[in-house]
Structure 1
Amino acid sequence: MSFQDVQNSGGRGKKASASPSQAVAAGIFQINTAVSTFRRLVDAIGTAKDTPDHRQKLHITRQRILELVKDTSAKLKALSESDHHINVNPSKQIEDAKLARDFQTTLQEFQKVQQLASERESTYMPSLPLAAATSAASASEEHLEPTSTRDQHRQPFLQEQKRQEVLLLDNEISFNEAIIEERELGIREIEEQIGQANEIFKDLAVLVHEQGVVIDDIHSNIDNSSAATTQARVQLAKASKGVKSRSSWVSANFSWFANNALNFDWLGIHTTHESFGIILY
């Protein structure tokens, strides 16, 4: 079963986990689905949807994909080792090699999206939550309102407003610092995850190469067997043609002797059909 078989079956991955090949195909399907979700999250970076919660979803999705990649890679490696046994069906080896190539293609797509995420996350800051942005804006507007010296009774209230404004600004600064620190941490995690994915990709490249050698050997054996079969058919056809030719020669000579028997009698030659003997009277 290839990755396309699992995809066309509607993603029935749990039912398809009965065999190692089906488990690998199901893993590839799950990774491909998660990468599509990851791409949508990456596309939203730098937009109004790019909030700290959005970055958290991005982080969780990336971690999930990496776990699936590691798990599927281990299963594929075990599957590849089992395919080197002598009694393995060649068609199964070819199908498993297709799975390896499907996994390689999916991992390449993940690497591209992951690199794009790294670039965008280092370029854009997540937006402030709506509540915090509204509070900060209200405090700024209140700060711009003119104060009347004649309303002395409002002074305590205005002082409290200023104190709240300072607290909001401090909170905003702390929030931005936390965001910056979290972003730097996220970038380091992304770089580490990219490194892990690259290592898996290198191992996978070796595995795909080995699978390709196995397939080449299988195809070579099939070609050699086909060539031998074709040669045998040619020889058999030649032999059959030779037998038919000799049979035709005997039949033709037999007919000639039979048709000319009367002429032999007229010449004084006695013939018999049993032995074509010649007797002179």
Structure 2
Amino acid sequence: MSYDQLSSLESGTASRGGYSDDPGFKQLQTELMNKVLGLRRNISKLSSDVDLLGTRRDTPRVRERVHDLLEKLRETCKDIGQGVKKLQTWEDLTKQQKYDQTRVSTDFQNALQEFQEVQRRALEKERASVTAARAAQSPEALEGAGTGDEHLPGQQQLQQQELARLAPQDEVDFQEALIIEREEEIRNIEQGVGDLNVLFRQVAQIVSEQGEQLTSIADNVEDVRDDTRGAQVELTHAARHQKAARNKGCCLMLILAVILTIVLLAIFID
């Protein structure tokens, strides 16, 4: 059963019951909803930047943004997770507050799953980038760096060969530094995915428990609704029977009055 259906079933009861929201609960719930909305906006930005990795538009600035957003979103997820756990421990909630509690947990679970998927995409692209860089560093890729200078004079040829040897070495060192940096980022992403997997399982457990509570509430609401309808039917039937009984009583009184009148007239005539 959906939240809207549950709310519609309880709308009349809630209004008649005079429920009052807990200010602390309402404030925390609102803060968490706003944080989840901000989380989803940043996930969308991260997804756009991850799509650029490995393309012609891949730049150090793009990779820096991806790194910063990953770190920021991990911290945001952990912060929201703590809030969701705190909201879960709230006691003496009204039915509407339980619905709001479950909405927060479910929305966060969906956002967390979306973030994990973007992280895995970033991880795959980083691994592909490192693999390509390692392949470019192979001896076959560097072969021929000193060719094409055999027709130069002796001294100039020696200088050219020395430059050809040093230049590739500088490039190799630079590329090796980039590879090491990207491998470190891969380890960070893997650790982030692992940490958030634990949080995801915890939130999924919370959502599952809240779902069972909502199902129980929904069943109770439907039982109350059915009982109320049954009571209304029985009251209607009772009212009809009572009306019929009154009508029968009136008819009997009228018949008795007629009989009594006939008897009295017979007595007076005699």
**Normalised-by-shorter TM-score class:** 0.7 to 0.9
> For residue 216 of structure 1, what is the aligned residue in structure 2?
215
**Structure 2: distance between partners of 1:18 and 1:250:** 60
> For residue 242 of structure 2, what is the aligned residue in structure 1?
243
Q: Give deviations 1:15-50, integer Å, cap 9, x for gaps.
A: xx9701111101111111111011111111111222
Paired residues of 1:55 and 1:126 also in contact (CA < 8 A):
no
| 1:126 Cα deviation after fit | 11
Question: What SS is found at the alignment partner of 1:268?
Answer: helix
Which one-letter code corresponds to 1:124 in the other structure?
S
Which one-letter code corresponds to 1:107 in the other structure?
L
Which one-letter code corresponds to 1:73 in the other structure?
G
**Structure 1: distance between partners of 2:131 and 2:238:** 83
**Structure 2: distance between partners of 1:29 and 1:225:** 36
**Structure 1: distance between partners of 2:107 and 2:244:** 57
Normalised to the residue count of structure 2, the TM-score between the two structures is 0.75
Normalised to the residue count of structure 1, the TM-score between the two structures is 0.72
1:268 is aligned to 2:267: yes
Q: Give deviations 1:143-194, integer Å, cap 9, x for gaps.
A: 9689875xx9xx6xx95x8776655433321110011111111111111111
Point out where structure 2 has 5 or more consecutive residues left out of the alignment: 4-24, 134-144
**Structure 1: distance between partners of 2:203 and 2:175:** 41
Which one-letter code corresponds to 2:125 in the other structure?
R
> For residue 95 of structure 2, what is the aligned residue in structure 1?
90
Gap change, CA 1:269 and 1:77, over 3 Å in 2: farther
Q: Which has the higher helix share?
A: 2
> For residue 123 of structure 1, what is the aligned residue in structure 2?
128
1:71 is aligned to 2:70: no
**Structure 1: distance between partners of 2:216 and 2:116:** 31
**Structure 2: distance between partners of 1:195 and 1:238:** 64
> For residue 173 of structure 2, what is the aligned residue in structure 1?
174
Greater C-alpha Rg:
1
> For residue 37 of structure 2, what is the aligned residue in structure 1?
29
Q: Give deviations 1:250-273, integer Å, cap 9, x for gaps.
A: 111223344556533443279xxx
**Structure 1: distance between partners of 2:131 and 2:151:** 36
Point out where structure 1 has 5 or more consecutive residues left out of the alignment: 3-16, 129-139, 271-280
In the comparison of the two structures, how many residue pairs are matched? 236
Question: What SS is found at the alignment partner of 1:50?
Answer: coil
Question: What SS is found at the alignment partner of 1:46?
Answer: coil
Which one-letter code corresponds to 1:115 in the other structure?
R
Gap change, CA 1:266 and 1:210, over 3 Å in 2: same
> For residue 9 of structure 2, what is the aligned residue in structure 1?
none
**Structure 2: distance between partners of 1:235 and 1:39:** 60
The 5 Å alignment of 1:117-266 reads: 117-124=122-129, 159=159, 168-259=167-258, 263-266=262-265
> For residue 67 of structure 2, what is the aligned residue in structure 1?
59
Which one-letter code corresponds to 1:108 in the other structure?
Q
| 1:127 Cα deviation after fit | 11
Paired residues of 1:107 and 1:201 also in contact (CA < 8 A):
yes
**Structure 1: distance between partners of 2:32 and 2:127:** 34
**Structure 2: distance between partners of 1:208 and 1:26:** 19
Paired residues of 2:130 and 2:183 also in contact (CA < 8 A):
no
1:106 is aligned to 2:114: no
Q: Give deviations 1:213-253, integer Å, cap 9, x for gaps.
A: 22122212212322332232233223222221211111112
Question: What SS is found at the alignment partner of 2:89?
Answer: helix
Paired residues of 1:52 and 1:127 also in contact (CA < 8 A):
no
**Structure 2: distance between partners of 1:21 and 1:144:** 71
Which one-letter code corresponds to 1:172 in the other structure?
E
Paired residues of 1:50 and 1:126 also in contact (CA < 8 A):
no
| 1:65 Cα deviation after fit | 1.0
Question: What SS is found at the alignment partner of 1:48?
Answer: coil
> For residue 49 of structure 1, what is the aligned residue in structure 2?
57
Gap change, CA 1:148 and 1:113, over 3 Å in 2: closer
